[in-house]
Chains A and B, each alone.
Chain A
Amino acid sequence: MLFLQAIQWILDPEHWAAVNFQAGIAEELGAHLWLSFLALVFTAAVALPVGLYIGHTGRGRGFAIVVANVVRAVPTLGLLSVLLLVSLALPPAVFVFVLLGVPPLLAGAYAGLEAVDRQTIDASRAMGMTEWQILRRVELPLAAPLILGGLRGATLQIIASVTLVSNFGINSLGDFILGGLAANDYVQMTAGAILVTVLALLVDGLLAVVQRFAAPRGVSRGRGTTTARGRRLSVPTGTPVSEGN
């Protein structure tokens, strides 16, 4: 029942404009997305270069794993509190979520590059590709699905955690959850939770579609002759006739 009431609460147009004379769903959603987006951009700016460097050169892998695990162990709420007590603004909040997003994206980037067949890379180098060309034309396209997998993980983490900033007066969908809790309004609280969940799932679904299209053609994911894009390839691979001439 609570769930249905919460859905009704969300569908009420008035709640999109304002809730209890404060920011409505539209505004909170915008703020939530904006903060998530900022965090994601900086996450990518840190994790991609480092991850690609580690994956391409094979250097610093152990170090990256240690750092990622240490960062992962930091309690997000605690760090937010400390930083926002010092300065109540957006940048420290973004910083905290970057810490949260870096480990999965970093892992996706270097694991993706490491998964590329060594022989393919060796052959590319022997043909006369520069290291940059190997990265750009061979490793990145082949690693794209795993890198995007890492990005999905980071995005999910960030969108879910951004709710926490409501504790410190920064707008996000978490306002409904916290506001509902304070006012014993469980319908509003559930509605807030649903909104965050749906948002996370939608964005994740969108990235899943991107991921599917990023899978290079010609590389099947172990489903016989169907390519990653799902197009059925013309079947007979080895035509024995042309083998003989």
Chain B
Amino acid sequence: MSIEFRHVRKTYPDGTTAVEDFSLVVPSHSTTVFVGSSGCGKTTLLRMINRMVDPSDGQILIDEEDVSRVEPVALRRRIGYVMQNSGLLPHRTVIDNVATVPILTGTPKAKARQDALGLLDRVGLDRALANRYPGQLSGGQQQRVGVARGLAADPNILLMDEPFGAVDPIVRDELQQELLRLQRELGKTTVFVTHDIDEAFLLGTQVVILKRGGVVAQIGTPAEILANPADDFVADFVGAKRGKRRLTAEERGAGDDVLLVDAAGYPAGLIAAPGGRLELADALAAGAGPKSRSVSNKTDQAGDA
């Protein structure tokens, strides 16, 4: 299920342009992240895929099929959607929330609920929570229910609109790892919107950095973007300009680890150096002394994704 944007434009009746001439191919079975500050049109672009917003001009194709020819309700039922603050129905239990879409599409209630229990397992929620109401769950648990609901109809496409924006950093970390695990297991075509560049680099196979008006600043893998920022805007946005990404091995920590600091001198982390040697770096940058060797911490993580 690949998604293609062809010269998409969105102008609102009051004259504001949310998106002007946006084109992109979202490859199937991988995660594409739209990242940018507020007002860059990233959510608008996401919502065009399931026709929550219709473009003023241009086309969006899912597997070569123009979505404007698909009836919105039918289209939305086969696309998973996860939003910030979960958007769960407050008057329905967790299990009924997860089973909503399958029941809409005609799955018998008992079977839909049974399947929903399986989905709770899948997103790491205790089945004991099945009969609670959303208001009785923590923010992180609510987001997990939101993800389970998004997956309930077994869609090929999953749209995620800042799903982890409103949870605390520790829970966000867990949810991100959980999403990476789910993505490895399920291989959905995922489009993810965030304003957090670290989250984008962690989750995205393809990262699209957007400027105001839906203008693409750069498209690439996290490694490509970090290594070659297209312009000052991108360099600034990913933090390369401020030296946040340029890490230098500075001094020995306790034991064999080496302490990494960024250009501003703040400690950024430790790197394993058994026997006092940086194994990876030695192979990559022969000749350079440990003092000037640079490593990007985020790129490594993103590479795993």
- A239, B125: Cα distance in complex, Å: 11
Docked-complex contact B87 and A219, CB < 8 angstroms: no
A127 near B138 with CB under 8 A, answer: no
Is B25 an interface residue, CB under 8 A from the partner? no
Are A238 and B90 in contact, CB atoms less than 8 angstroms apart?
no
What's the least CB distance linking B164 to chain A, in Å?
13
Query: What is the interface size of chain B, counting residues whose CB is below 8 A from a CB of the partner?
Result: 40
The reply to whether B81 and A219 form a contact with Cβ atoms under 8 Å apart is: no
Determine if B138 and A126 form an interchain contact, defined as CB atoms under 8 angstroms apart.
no
In the complex, the answer to whether B77 meets A127 with C-beta atoms within 8 Å is yes
Cα(A244)–Cα(B85), bound, Å = 19
A138 at the interface (CB under 8 A from B): yes
Decide if B76 touches A217 in the complex (CB within 8 Å): no
A87 at the interface (CB under 8 A from B): no
Q: B171–A128 contact, CB under 8 A?
A: no
- Which B residues are in CB contact (< 8 Å) with A220? 135
Q: Complex formed: what's the CA distance from A39 to B78 in Å?
A: 46
Known A127-B77, A238-B137; contact A119-B104, beta-carbon cutoff 8 A? no
- Report if A122 contacts B (CB, 8 A): yes
Binds A, one of B26-34, B126-134, B185-193: B126-134
Residues of A within 8 A of B272 (CB): none
User: Which residues of A lie under 8 Å from residue B52 when comparing CB positions?
Assistant: 122, 125-126
Q: Which residues of A contact B140 (CB under 8 A)?
A: 238, 243
CB-defined contacts of A227 to chain B, threshold 8 Å: 133
Known contacts A123-B81, A123-B83, A128-B101, A217 near B141 by CB under 8 Å: no
Closest to A131 in B: B73
- Is there a chain B Cβ closer than 8 Å to A233's Cβ? yes
Q: Which residues of A contact B93 (CB under 8 A)?
A: 218
Tell me, yes or no, whether A157 is within 8 Å of chain B by CB. Answer: no
Interface residue? A242 (CB, 8 A) = yes
Interface centre among A129, A218, A244 (most CB of B within 10 A): A218
User: Does A129 contact B73, Cβ atoms closer than 8 Å?
Assistant: yes
Q: Is A180 an interface residue (CB 8 A)?
A: no
Q: In the complex, which of the residues A130, A218, A234, A237 contacts B90, with contact meaning CB atoms closer than 8 Å?
A: A218
In the complex, what residues of A have CB within 8 A of residue B135's CB? 218-220, 237
Q: Give every chain B residue within 8 A of A245 (Cβ-Cβ).
A: 124
A129 touches B141 (CB 8 A): no
Contact in complex: A216, B91 (CB < 8 Å)? yes
Whole-angstrom distance from the CB of B77 to the nearest CB of chain A? 3
CA–CA, A186 to B133, complex, Å?
A: 57
Tell yes or no: B92 within 8 A of A by CB: yes
Within 8 A of A (CB), among B55-103: 73-78, 81, 83, 85-93, 100-101
Bound form: Cα–Cα A212–B113 in Å? 28
**When the two chains form their complex, are residues B90 and A127 in contact, meaning their CB atoms are under 8 A apart?**
no
Q: Which A residues are CB-close (under 8 A) to B141? A: 238, 242-243
Question: Interface digits, A201-245 against B, CB 8 Å rule (1 contact, 0 not)?
Answer: 000000000000000111110000101000001100111001111
Could you tell me the distance between the alpha carbons of A242 and B175 in the complex, rounded to whole angstroms? 12
- Cα distance, A133 to B77, chains bound together (Å): 13
Residues on A with C-beta less than 8 A from B134 are 218
Query: Which residue of B76, B83, B90 contacts A128 across the interface (Cβ within 8 Å)?
Result: B76
A169-225 interface (Cβ within 8 A of B):
216-220, 225
B149 within 8 A of A: yes
Q: Which residues on A sit within 8 Å (CB–CB) of B91?
A: 141-142, 216-219
Considering only residues 101-139 of chain B, those with a C-beta below 8 Å from chain A are 101, 104-105, 124-126, 129, 133-139
The yes or no answer to A76 lying at the interface (CB within 8 A) is no
Q: In the complex, what distance in Å separates the CA atom of A239 from the CA atom of B87?
A: 21
Cβ contact of B100, chosen from A119, A122, A127, cutoff 8 A: A127
Of residues 95 through 152 on chain A, the ones whose CB sits less than 8 Å from some CB of chain B are: 117, 119-120, 122-130, 133, 137-138, 141-142
- The yes or no answer to B50 lying at the interface (CB within 8 A) is yes
Inter-chain contact A120/B50, CB cutoff 8 Å: no
Nearest Cβ on chain B to A103's Cβ, whole angstroms? 28
- List the 9 closest pairs (A to B, CB-CB), nearest first: A123-B87, A238-B138, A218-B133, A128-B77, A216-B91, A128-B76, A126-B81, A242-B126, A237-B136
Return 5 A-B CB contacts under 8 Å, by A number. A218-B93, A218-B133, A219-B91, A219-B133, A234-B136
